[in-house]
Amino acid sequence: MSRPLAHPCRRTAALLASLLAGSCLLSSALPSPALAQTTSAQPAAAPRSIPLLQTETNFNGTPIVYPKGTPQITARITEIPPGVRTGVHTHQIPLFVYILGGTLTIRGENGESAIYKEGDAYMERTDWHEGVNEGSEPVRLLAVYPGEVGTPLSVKRAN
């Protein structure tokens, strides 16, 4: 079941929808591939994929474990303003992260940390940790949770 987008993401969703609609209109205005092949000696462009990540473990080395209940995929864009902390939390399900902008520091309980910048992709750790934006610009990240119905995306530590 889809949920409505949270307010900060509406502009991004609207932009993506506009880009998709524009590309569909543009592609319908262009000659068909068959016509292009008869009028041009240039080879047709082919799709290409750029791998972002392929791993069997979270970034701290623990194995990725898939949920066993009814699957539910959640994808969202999260924004973290400069100087803001996520609070100590954990994830009971796998979490793929792609940094769209800014620099994010992830700190584990044992003092270890990792820094991720725009263009970085990683599998989030599932032990207790905290994200911090120590930079001067907002962090924007795409988070994809291959989870299950009824399992929270994250759990905050009780004070």
Number of domains in the chain: 2
Output the CA angle 77-82-87, nearest 5 degrees: 70
Kindly report the CATH number assigned to the domain that includes residue 91. Answer: 2.60.120.10
**64 in any annotated domain:** no
Same domain, 34 and 75: no
**132 in any annotated domain:** yes
pLDDT at residue 6 in the model = 41
pLDDT at residue 43 in the model = 73
Query: 33-80 pLDDT, tens per residue?
Result: 444 444 556 778 988 888 899 999 988 888 998 888 899 999 999 999
**138 in any annotated domain:** yes
Query: 7-37 pLDDT, tens per residue?
Result: 443 343 433 334 333 433 333 444 444 444 4
Same domain, 35 and 97: no
Q: For residues 60 and 112, is the Cβ–Cβ distance under 8 A?
A: yes
pLDDT at residue 95 in the model = 95
pLDDT at residue 108 in the model = 94
**CB-count exposure of residue 3 (10 Å: 0-12, 13-18, 19+):** exposed
pLDDT at residue 7 in the model = 40
Please give the residue range of the domain that contains residue 81. Answer: 71-156
Same domain, 26 and 91: no
pLDDT at residue 40 in the model = 54
- The whole model's pTM is what? 0.68
Residue 7 is given by DSSP the state: G
How far is residue 69's CA from residue 110's CA, in Å, rounded to a whole number?
Answer: 31
- Which contiguous run of DSSP H or E holds residue 60? none
Tokens (6 digits) for 119: 């263009």
**45 in any annotated domain:** no
Same domain, 30 and 102: no
pLDDT at residue 68 in the model = 87
Query: 81-140 pLDDT, tens per residue?
Result: 999 999 999 999 999 999 999 999 999 999 999 999 999 999 999 999 999 999 999 999
